[in-house]
A and B are shown apart, each in its own frame.
Chain A
């Protein structure tokens, strides 16, 4: 039984990981929301609905964008903590995602402030599909890592 820094890291990441899972679930719901639309042109052709829909898309995109930085920074924090705690295996597991996040953040199309989830292009099926797939993969990753952290936490606590 040893309450080491590593154990503390795992406990913290466990909590934060849960929040990340919520983020991702929210993403998935949001993309689903974007994708669902009235199939009936009678509704869609409606100018009044048009505005509603457009506002909706913009709102969702805006929220999505707001979540990007928190998510990325939380995950960055994980890596930093594991680095400090010298948990190399865990760090190694997280490094690929860290790099992906960095790439995604800096490789967005350079127009204005809101590049990643752009209301104008988000509805293009390929972008939407990509985002959806990304979210599902992340969900799987976070879920697995959640249990891994749980196991590791117990392991570090129990071990000496």
Chain B
């Protein structure tokens, strides 16, 4: 959870950093962005830190007081508090408990104290509470949410909490008191609640001091929800709040102890305090602390035994886990300080309990069970970055929280979110006056404003993002906000850790068929309530046993309930026919044009190299076809001495010359296949055939693939000119830069669409590689991939010698294409909470039912988008959930289901809706909608719609939320990048007018918008610009023993370019390095390997491997950027005076061009429109 918080608020944090400029934060933050999974702990930590820290900081001050107030009340006044009774109870309970716990900890972290506590409170309570709490946790949490979410302050808290998280993480990494201060504050909010509040009273002094500096964030109630859930359960007993809670804590603490010991080994030899803190944090993170309480012993035991069933889990490799473990050492230091401060609290008797409890929780959940770790990782938005952070945060949070709480309590009495100042994301920004709107660090996905537990459990934003992280309660509210509501999915993303579950019964809701997920609520031990349709279901007997912990009666601790991203291995119920083998068919254009371009050599070479790496099992089959004006089949039947070529010249009525031997087993016929691949490039060198019968070849391919399904890879180099599906050139070169009408964005014929539908019906996907130098009507050809769930690659002006960079790109893309994961005969279903409904899907697929996408193939690089509408008011729920289930056949012939679940809060005020905008997701969804609009209506319509989206949302904000002067163009901080991104879209190849754009380029850009996942799409829309001639190690991150410098982002404007510098622009699929005329010769010599500017060649696509520090830095930075994306981008080094610089400059979207506004002009235009 903590982790998510950090990640979630990236945007806010990113902004903040500049202000607070925590040295640590800044350094760390910059690197984090790329977040390659493998990044070392440190990296992760820093990245998160940056984000989080800043926010935490800011929050600190603000929240500080308020939180304390809450807390203080918690213990004493719990009942009196205005908040929901549950909440109050919760708090109080938590507080009380924590306080008790705390004291012990502070005083002595000895078990004895804990035991005493445990004794003191009635054991039964605990048990009951635990059960109840667990079940209730989700529901109660949601309640809290609602309550919290509505008030502004609550909002803030949420935000803060993330900050806190980050802070924690950062602390952990840094592990120093000074940092701790910052971090600590953040931490407090999340975990601290319970424990803090109480302790504050007694121990407050020392803690308070500590906290004051650190704790500001404490306020965050979100976490409380989870707790509250428990509390709610507990709360009943809690009329005497303290005792029950204590019990809980005690139990937990006890368990914690045991766990502690356990954990201790795993962790670095952190001090006891630290460990405790850790555990505590962990516990907090876990939603189910109660559970732990129930079986403290079990938890510990569970930890050690790994689940039999889990494949994935085994590694323990949850990213989070890893990170946590790794990071843990770092965090420890931070916690220490707290404990130190603790001594004061120690004086207070109560405090002891809290720490133990914390510890206990963490243990049971966090460490022992890998899942928690996982959750943490996922939960944090950071996910990309580092999972570990969450854990950490939890850590520190506790200690920090304590002080903070104390102070707060003393200073303020109410739980009320009083302090809750406006969330950072709502801070009004005057767009026309803010000169540097672009943050220096990458923009992160905002973290949904959930309680800490849910946050931690939530799906990673890399897989699943919503344009509004606060879902409006009604369609009317959504309409008022004038923002698009939708989801962006990257369901089959390459994951480093994924729990894989084998089980005879996959637990699903009986009415809506939702898979069980972390956001369901357990009503009692044997029943759970679906979070999408609210039906109460039975828990099957098998589910009662937790294979991970080898314990019985803990359905809530099953991996399905601990992870929002899981994969099930489906039973035979899920297949009507045996899973299909991996079947690959290559359909190659061998007309004169194709041979001239020379792609065959590259393809055959790549295939030869990767033949063994093709995903598949022993049943894998492969086949080849070539075509010009006739169609050639290759008989590769085992036993033949050499491949046999069969030519079918009747293209009007294509038939298969032999039924069997065209698709052959890869392993049985490997020699023949290799022979063929070696011979192919030279077989057609003297061809004079210029025609291309693509349509008939596809029909033949379809016939060939029909019995099995699989993947067809089509390589085409020109307009199909023969047989069915022939196309005419529709592009008028004179219209390329037209500002008025762009025609022919739609297909010219429905042949390819029909073919794609047929293929889709036979579970065959068609992937198109278009390598052409002339217009090839991609708009029509793309249909074959669009509706069969294939993918499209386009290499304009491809030539293997004249255009080596394209050739290299093809080679690298092919390597990825051939070796990446693949899923066959897939379907993806998206479900959402009752009241929401989906309409309009974007991506490559066939929509088979209103919520079911049919995907003949699924690949890890495919992204999807869905638009949502609110059909019924969501007033009676505080949380909404979305679940995507992707059922596919793996290349090994296993039927698997990958399930992602996302949980978001519902809000009722417009301000909250604006506070939760995920501007990147919104822009990607808008881009998808604009593509549809361009095709169905016209490009100018789409452009107008994009501008209107900005105008409408900003004017809606101006007239409803902000009360500031209307003359200025105001935007909430969460939306401040919106106009910039829309301007970037308007200047994107897909939508630009006035600049010469080839029709195929434009259509390809549109195809990419539709099918790219968000992260890649954002780089396409708004490239990142870095200055690289002065890279330093300041803020660098460490990845795989390499130091990766993290230069700040520059805004995309020529004003940032200086002749004395060199700049790297990352456009997703292309890198440009622009070298200024006056660039330092040292840089040119050390990095580029030339003596001076004049000697740099015009076409340069590689950085030489020089043994200098600056070269090493530049290369490691570029490599690091490259590693973060599936398709290797090509690098162009552009000299200031070379003709290629136009390409570079067209990406400087903040500048004025002949045909388009500058950013400032665009703002004025928007303002003008608003005032109309």
B852 touches A37 (CB 8 A): yes
Beta-carbon contacts under 8 Å, A103-152 to B: 109-114, 119-121, 123-129
The answer to whether A2 has its CB under 8 Å from any CB of chain B is no
A112 to B752, CA, bound (A): 11
Q: Given A54-B854, A110-B746, A44–B825 Cβ distance below 8 Å? A: no
Q: In the complex, what residues of B have CB within 8 A of residue A44's CB?
A: 827, 829, 848-849, 852
The answer to whether B109 has its CB under 8 Å from any CB of chain A is no
B750 touches A114 (CB 8 A): yes
A61 to B513, CA, bound (A): 28
A121 touches B847 (CB 8 A): yes
B746 touches A111 (CB 8 A): yes
A111 touches B854 (CB 8 A): no
Q: B573-591 interface mask toward A, CB cutoff 8 Å, 1 = contact, 0 = none?
A: 1111100100000000000
Expressed in whole angstroms, the minimum distance between the Cβ of B1011 and any Cβ of chain A is 15
Q: B838-875 interface mask toward A, CB cutoff 8 Å, 1 = contact, 0 = none?
A: 11110000111111101000000000000101000000
A112 touches B753 (CB 8 A): yes
Q: Which of A4-12, A17-25, A45-53, A69-77 binds B?
A: A45-53
The answer to whether A159 has its CB under 8 Å from any CB of chain B is no
A84 to B199, CA, bound (A): 92
B747 touches A111 (CB 8 A): yes
A46 touches B576 (CB 8 A): yes
A124 to B746, CA, bound (A): 19
Residue of B nearest to A123 (CB): B847
A113 touches B574 (CB 8 A): no
Q: Is the interface of B mostly helix, strand, loop or mixed?
A: mixed
Residue of B nearest to A130 (CB): B839
Q: Given A54-B760, A54-B846, A112-B753, A47–B747 Cβ distance below 8 Å? A: no
Q: Is the interface of A mostly helix, strand, loop or mixed?
A: helix
Expressed in whole angstroms, the minimum distance between the Cβ of A102 and any Cβ of chain B is 18
Which of A48, A120, A127 has the largest count of B CB atoms less than 10 A from its CB?
A120
Q: In the complex, what residues of B have CB within 8 A of residue A129's CB?
A: 839
Which of A46, A119, A120, A123 contacts B849 (CB under 8 A)? A123
The answer to whether A42 has its CB under 8 Å from any CB of chain B is yes
Residue of B nearest to A113 (CB): B750
A119 to B1158, CA, bound (A): 42
The answer to whether B709 has its CB under 8 Å from any CB of chain A is yes
The answer to whether B787 has its CB under 8 Å from any CB of chain A is yes
B838 touches A125 (CB 8 A): yes
Expressed in whole angstroms, the minimum distance between the Cβ of A121 and any Cβ of chain B is 7
The answer to whether A58 has its CB under 8 Å from any CB of chain B is yes
Q: In the complex, what residues of B have CB within 8 A of residue A42's CB?
A: 573-574
Q: Given A48-B576, A51-B761, A125–B850 Cβ distance below 8 Å? A: yes
Chain B interface size band reads 35 or more
The answer to whether A35 has its CB under 8 Å from any CB of chain B is yes
Residue of A nearest to B937 (CB): A109
B839 touches A126 (CB 8 A): yes
Q: In the complex, what residues of A have CB within 8 A of residue B746's CB?
A: 109-111
The answer to whether B1124 has its CB under 8 Å from any CB of chain A is no
Expressed in whole angstroms, the minimum distance between the Cβ of A103 and any Cβ of chain B is 14
Q: In the complex, what residues of A have CB within 8 A of residue B749's CB?
A: 112
A124 touches B839 (CB 8 A): yes
Residue of B nearest to A125 (CB): B839
Q: Given A47-B577, A54-B846, A111-B750, A40–B513 Cβ distance below 8 Å? A: yes
Expressed in whole angstroms, the minimum distance between the Cβ of B515 and any Cβ of chain A is 9
Q: In the complex, what residues of B have CB within 8 A of residue A50's CB?
A: 760-761, 763, 825, 827, 848, 854
Expressed in whole angstroms, the minimum distance between the Cβ of A119 and any Cβ of chain B is 6
Q: In the complex, what residues of B have CB within 8 A of residue A46's CB?
A: 575-577
The answer to whether B887 has its CB under 8 Å from any CB of chain A is yes
The answer to whether A55 has its CB under 8 Å from any CB of chain B is yes
Residue of B nearest to A37 (CB): B849
Q: In the complex, what residues of B have CB within 8 A of residue A110's CB?
A: 746
A120 touches B827 (CB 8 A): no
A35 touches B854 (CB 8 A): no
Q: In the complex, what residues of B have CB within 8 A of residue A48's CB?
A: 576-577
A45 to B827, CA, bound (A): 6
B576 touches A125 (CB 8 A): no
Beta-carbon contacts under 8 Å, B64-90 to A: none
Q: In the complex, what residues of A have CB within 8 A of residue B829's CB?
A: 41, 44
The answer to whether B807 has its CB under 8 Å from any CB of chain A is no
A120 to B840, CA, bound (A): 11
Q: In the complex, what residues of B have CB within 8 A of residue A109's CB?
A: 746, 935-936
The answer to whether B757 has its CB under 8 Å from any CB of chain A is yes
Residue of B nearest to A49 (CB): B576
The answer to whether B885 has its CB under 8 Å from any CB of chain A is yes
The answer to whether B962 has its CB under 8 Å from any CB of chain A is no
A124 to B574, CA, bound (A): 25
A42 to B897, CA, bound (A): 11
Q: In the complex, what residues of A have CB within 8 A of residue B839's CB?
A: 124-127, 129
The answer to whether A79 has its CB under 8 Å from any CB of chain B is no
B887 touches A47 (CB 8 A): no
Q: In the complex, what residues of A have CB within 8 A of residue B885's CB?
A: 41
The answer to whether B762 has its CB under 8 Å from any CB of chain A is yes
B850 touches A47 (CB 8 A): no
Which of A45, A53, A120 has the largest count of B CB atoms less than 10 A from its CB?
A45
The answer to whether B309 has its CB under 8 Å from any CB of chain A is no
Q: Given A45-B887, A125-B837, A128-B850, A119–B576 Cβ distance below 8 Å? A: no
Residue of B nearest to A58 (CB): B757
Expressed in whole angstroms, the minimum distance between the Cβ of B69 and any Cβ of chain A is 47
The answer to whether A57 has its CB under 8 Å from any CB of chain B is yes
Q: Given A48-B576, A51-B761, A120–B887 Cβ distance below 8 Å? A: no
Q: In the complex, what residues of A have CB within 8 A of residue B846's CB?
A: 54, 120
Q: In the complex, what residues of B have CB within 8 A of residue A111's CB?
A: 746-747, 750, 753, 935
A41 touches B848 (CB 8 A): no
Beta-carbon contacts under 8 Å, B562-610 to A: 573-577, 580
A115 to B761, CA, bound (A): 21
Q: In the complex, what residues of B have CB within 8 A of residue A112's CB?
A: 747-750, 753
Residue of A nearest to B753 (CB): A120
Which of A41, A119, A125, A126 contacts B827 (CB under 8 A)? A41
Beta-carbon contacts under 8 Å, B723-753 to A: 746-750, 753
A47 touches B825 (CB 8 A): yes
A109 to B937, CA, bound (A): 7
Q: In the complex, what residues of B have CB within 8 A of residue A55's CB?
A: 761
A126 to B580, CA, bound (A): 34
Q: Given A35-B850, A54-B854, A113-B750, A125–B575 Cβ distance below 8 Å? A: no
A128 to B840, CA, bound (A): 10
Residue of A nearest to B743 (CB): A110
Q: In the complex, what residues of A have CB within 8 A of residue B762's CB?
A: 51
A124 touches B760 (CB 8 A): no
A–B pairs, 23, beta carbons within 8 Å: A37-B848, A37-B850, A41-B829, A45-B887, A47-B576, A50-B760, A50-B825, A51-B761, A53-B848, A54-B757, A54-B761, A54-B848, A112-B750, A121-B847, A123-B849, A123-B850, A124-B839, A124-B850, A125-B837, A125-B838, A125-B839, A126-B839, A126-B840
Interface residues of B (CB under 8 A from A): 512-513, 573-577, 580, 709, 746-750, 753, 757, 760-763, 787, 825, 827, 829, 837-841, 846-852, 854, 867, 869, 885, 887, 895, 897, 935-936
The 3 closest A-B pairs by CB, nearest first: A112-B750, A125-B839, A126-B839
Interface contacts beyond A40-B513, A48-B577, A51-B762: sample of 11 additional A-B pairs, CB < 8 Å, sorted by A = A35-B850, A39-B513, A41-B513, A44-B852, A45-B887, A47-B575, A50-B825, A53-B849, A55-B761, A123-B847, A124-B850
Interface residues of A (CB under 8 A from B): 35, 37, 39-42, 44-51, 53-55, 57-58, 109-114, 119-121, 123-129
